[in-house]
Chain A
């Protein structure tokens, strides 16, 4: 990776951390520059606007999560086991690197006006959504999952996980996220399995 690309990624990381904790509007480019120890002008050499930076971050996070799900997709295990692995890695990410999922829930979904142009439809989250498509399609093809509308299944799976991470972030859960992996995986499997 060349130097400029490495620097870009560091800016993405720093901005992701600030956006996901303080919010998109409360975070300024000078805040990001300060966190990076860079000049404001130099940040603009990498990203021409705060909105553009926000769009690059959602793609960046989606790529990271997508790459993890891809590893699960490439394993020779049952759909039931894959569901457990996806739930586990999602919760692990929410615990160890909560900025990614918080960014998705608290910045991307909550400020759609920022993403309207450039992130139409699934454009900026496609690397993650594509892996879920492959997971669902193969589950049906192998007779393990019930054939249904993609979004019915997608909403059930990701809405459940996103909502749960949100509850965890609100501090209302009695236990750590990892303690819920088995139960939630089973619920999702039971809802999606071939009857």
Chain B
């Protein structure tokens, strides 16, 4: 039997969303063939947590879920200040994986107290979170993470492969894509045809409904969720949950300055407004119609 990598999963300030998403991984038996979960708060583990903590056992992955804080009034586990547990385990882990936007950037909890509640290495987009520096941290942002983002990153490291990271320490394999890539509404985006309401098949959600697909890094529309769909395919905007500034306010409204939305990632205003203005000058009748005419 080949060597299994060992995992300890630790929760900071969290809603459990990333654990739930992970538990939806479709190929759990194959995951279990390569990994051993020494501890997960929601699993019945073989190991008693306190004996793990008090041992000097080293392990391969410390997975962090939830925002972090050094303030023991904000977070304790097992009647211990959380920082004692985290600091003890962090030095014994080969890799630290932040599962979700809270552990990566601070997420929704950080909004409550940005001075004291942060991600592991970032506070929003600023470097310096729970730790100032650490060279074995990988951020897998998302609210929640896609189970494949986590498992495939773990597998790559388990197999000794190099995982290339972006400036926010996210695996490029996942986060070099935009949620816009593979969106079925791209033609409506090209011709600036808005969606009239949430949930309908037609139209683009970028102009009125707050969609952040063109500026959010994730491969949601490439690999899909539960193998079948995505927010934008189902007629709901991308909320930008993988970015450092998630969650923004008024998630279902497009924030505009003088009617002009934020431009897609890496596209200059001049280029975008020019093309958008040209596209908007034409009325494409096919795109104004329902995809499926249910009256006939």
A residues at B contact (CB < 8 Å) = 70, 120-123, 126-127, 129-131, 133-134, 136-141, 145, 147-151, 153
Contacts and interface: CB of A to CB of B under 8 A. Distances in A.
B280 interface: yes
Contacts, number: 57
B277 A130 contact: yes
A123 B257 contact: no
Contacts of A145: 258
A151 B274 CA distance: 16
A133 B258 CA distance: 8
A138 B268 CA distance: 13
Contacts of A140: 257-258
B277 A149 contact: no
A121 B277 CA distance: 8
Closest 8 CB pairs of A and B: A121-B281, A140-B257, A150-B259, A136-B258, A120-B281, A123-B281, A137-B260, A133-B273
A137 B269 contact: yes
Given A123-B277, A137-B257, 10 more contacts: A70-B270, A122-B277, A122-B281, A134-B270, A134-B273, A136-B258, A136-B260, A137-B269, A138-B257, A153-B258
Contacts of A131: 270
Given A147-B257, A150-B259, A130 B282 contact: no
A128 to B, nearest CB: 11
A147 B270 CA distance: 19
Contact of A133 (B260, B281, B282): B260
A141 B257 contact: yes
B193 to A, nearest CB: 14
Interface residues of B, number: 14
B224 interface: no
B257 A121 contact: no
B281 A134 contact: no
Interface of B: 256-260, 269-270, 273-274, 277-278, 280-282
Contact of B258 (A70, A122, A129, A137): A137
B258 A147 contact: yes
A130 B274 contact: yes
Contacts of A150: 258-260
Contacts of B270: 70, 130-131, 134
B260 A127 contact: no
B264 to A, nearest CB: 14
Contact of B277 (A70, A126, A137, A148): A126
A147 B259 CA distance: 8
Contacts of B256: 147
A140 B277 CA distance: 19
A14 to B, nearest CB: 28
Contacts of B259: 149-151
Nearest to B258: A136
Nearest to A154: B258
A26 to B, nearest CB: 29
A137 B258 CA distance: 6
Contacts of A126: 274, 277-278, 281
Nearest to B280: A121
A148 B257 CA distance: 7
A59 B57 CA distance: 72
Contacts of B273: 130, 133-134
Nearest to A131: B270
A133 B270 CA distance: 9
5 contacts: A136-B257, A136-B260, A138-B257, A147-B256, A147-B257
B258 A134 contact: no
A134 B269 contact: yes
Contacts of A70: 270
Contacts of A133: 258, 260, 269, 273, 277
Contacts of A141: 257
Nearest to B271: A130
Contacts of A123: 277-278, 281
A120 to B, nearest CB: 4
A120 B273 CA distance: 16
Contacts of A127: 274
